[in-house]
Structure 1
Amino acid sequence: MTVVPKTLNPLQLVADRWQPTARFVRRAALGAVVMAVIIVVTGGAVRLTQSGLGCPTWPTCTEDSLTPTPAMGINGIIEFTNRMLTYVLCAVVGVAIVAARARAPHRRPLTRLGWAQFWVIASNGVIGGITVLTGLNPYVVASHFLAATTLLTIAVVMWHRTGEGDETPRDLVARPVRQLSWVLVAATALLIVAGTVVTGSGKHAGDASKHIHRIPLDWHQITQLHVDFVFVVLGLTIALWFVLRAVQAPATAVRRVAELLVVLLLQGVVGYVQYFNDSPEIVVGAHLFGSCLVWIAVLRVPLSLRERGEAAGLRTPGQPSGDHEALAGQPAAAAAGR
């Protein structure tokens, strides 16, 4: 009888020889979140230092060189360094994928979220190349940023999922309250999209040596629209905080909304400083970093309004279960739903 050898799966081979702890998997997922933020901020630094066309072509840096030449100066180095950080990002996400796959028992949703990050990185690398080849077209630049935000979204979800189990999601508050949290997420997404339009029509085109096409809209009017969305998001955040307090929601959920409120207020201060000082580069960079923190904070709000049990291996012996806060809010949530 002929024995057919099993197909060799490299990830399975790793899993047969290495068993990472649940904490390692969680930290690897957090590392992917951190790198997603770094890639956004460094991408902004490329634009703010006028280095968007530091490497004038893609995938090589010049027609004849993979790397920048001395004649290209600091702009070429900045642009090329940002390109190389993509490989660091891939490596960090790769560690998260391998760790999630090797962890026993295997949690397929975590692996899928890791691979989703990898494919977003690959596709956004192509978008970045198109950005260069189109001479920093503002619409392509905006799509490049939004793809990076998509990557950050998936990374945050994976990080959160490493801290919970795989049971069927169970609401901790009444459905209208959860719906309000998703309205808040949608409004924040529109706020970020409006911010990309502000960038596309504003003064920081990304390269000072060439004529860069800009979005043909009045920058001050678009900025006002952006500010209007800020007030909408701020109002929804405050309203959700009061609602969660009224229905005696779990303390973790209330804390997540309070954290979002603090980040929004700090981001608002940075935004006003930026506007009234003619958008200095360092403040714009801080505002870009703040937008990542806002998005992370707002995503954690609806995720805190449901629970899926505990993730095996995260709790040290003798440590009380983290579900007591969540379960304490169940009677109030159920009453609010009736």
Structure 2
Amino acid sequence: MTARDRRLWGWCIAALVANMSIIVTGAVVRLTGSGLGCDTWPHCTAGSFTPRAATGIHSYVEFGNRLLTFVLVAVAIGALARCYRVKARAQIMALAWINLVSIAMQAVIGGISVLVGLNPFMVALHLLLSVAIILVNVKMVWLAGPHSSEAVDGLTMGLVRATVAMMCVVMWLGTVVTGSGPNAGDAGSARTGFAIETVARLHGISVWITVALTIACLVIATTRHLAMMRRWSIFVLAVEMYQAVIGYSQYFAHLNPWLVIWHMVGVSLAAASVGALWCSVRPTPSPVVTRQS
């Protein structure tokens, strides 16, 4: 890898870390009940972009999280500028643009979620877009760095894709659990109205389906000597086990906020690792059939 490529790779890694971090800081906002600390958008309070002392600590917590968006934008612009500087290939250039535009969309969705009083379904969309951005960032890191992928057959590729899709379902159901429980961002914010025990069980079932798919990926990677797929299957499985321990602990601890924060750390790791698993494989090219005259 040349020095110029290392810089682009560094920008892509910075984008990934920043977008993983904002999931955790967003959880801190929600779990401290600061989701409506800034009760409007784009202002923090009526007539002011910044919090006022009279609005209390919650406004500073929420405002601090909003400021991180500018960090994400700056890193995204840095990565995009580096792409143009080194004349990066079209795929990574497109992903860099998607990353920047998605962060802008994320800010708007976050603002709308405040304006609608932290509607749990809007908050869920806010998190899921962060997960999608992380998947984009992982692909950027993969393409910019010294990484390769292994050609696999249709069944194996389908299994990996199913694992990624199921992981997204797990995360979506996780947002439904949060929106049904006591840590939805503000004491007065709306809840889904679902019984938390029911949605927590559905979330747990989806987790174990994802674990089963990951184990299947590991078995196939091992039997077919796919070293990279095997490595990332093990990593994803380790993150899933971590998430299971934290998840069940917070269930029996009645959604203790500190355990939920560690669970959100796991969400970031799960999104990044399953993205790497996805990047580690590619479909085997179909053979070119030529006509004989």
Which of the five TM-score ranges fits, normalised by the shorter chain?
over 0.9
TM-score, normalised to structure 1, is: 0.80
Is contact 1:20–1:102 with CA below 8 Å preserved after alignment? no
State the one-letter code of the partner of 2:154.
R
Pair 1:283 & 2:259 matched: yes
Aligned to 1:217: 194
1: CA distance, partners of 2:153 / 2:146 = 21
State the one-letter code of the partner of 1:77.
Y
Aligned to 2:101: 119
What is the deviation of 1:122? 0.8
Pair 1:196 & 2:175 matched: yes
1:267 to 227, 233, 243: 243
Pair 1:88 & 2:71 matched: yes
1:72 to 43, 50, 55: 55
Structure 2 runs not aligned, ≥5 long:
285-293
Consecutive aligned runs of 4 or more in structure 1 exceeding 3 Å deviation = none
Pair 1:242 & 2:219 matched: yes
2: CA distance, partners of 1:171 / 1:281 = 41
Aligned to 1:16: none
Q: Deviations over 1:25-56 (max 9, x none)?
A: 11110100000011111111111010011011
Is contact 1:93–1:118 with CA below 8 Å preserved after alignment? yes
1:230 to 173, 192, 207: 207
Is contact 1:127–1:144 with CA below 8 Å preserved after alignment? yes
2: CA distance, partners of 1:41 / 1:263 = 16
State the one-letter code of the partner of 1:122.
A
2: CA distance, partners of 1:48 / 1:255 = 34
Pair 1:148 & 2:130 matched: yes
2: CA distance, partners of 1:26 / 1:171 = 21
- Identity, in percent, stands at 36
Is contact 1:36–1:148 with CA below 8 Å preserved after alignment? yes
2: CA distance, partners of 1:129 / 1:122 = 11
Is contact 1:52–1:206 with CA below 8 Å preserved after alignment? yes
State the one-letter code of the partner of 1:117.
N
2: CA distance, partners of 1:238 / 1:97 = 37
1:42 to 2, 5, 25: 25
2: CA distance, partners of 1:147 / 1:298 = 16
1: CA distance, partners of 2:113 / 2:18 = 21
State the one-letter code of the partner of 2:224.
V
Structure 1 runs not aligned, ≥5 long:
1-18, 308-329, 331-338
TM-score, normalised to structure 2, is: 0.92
Is contact 1:101–1:108 with CA below 8 Å preserved after alignment? no
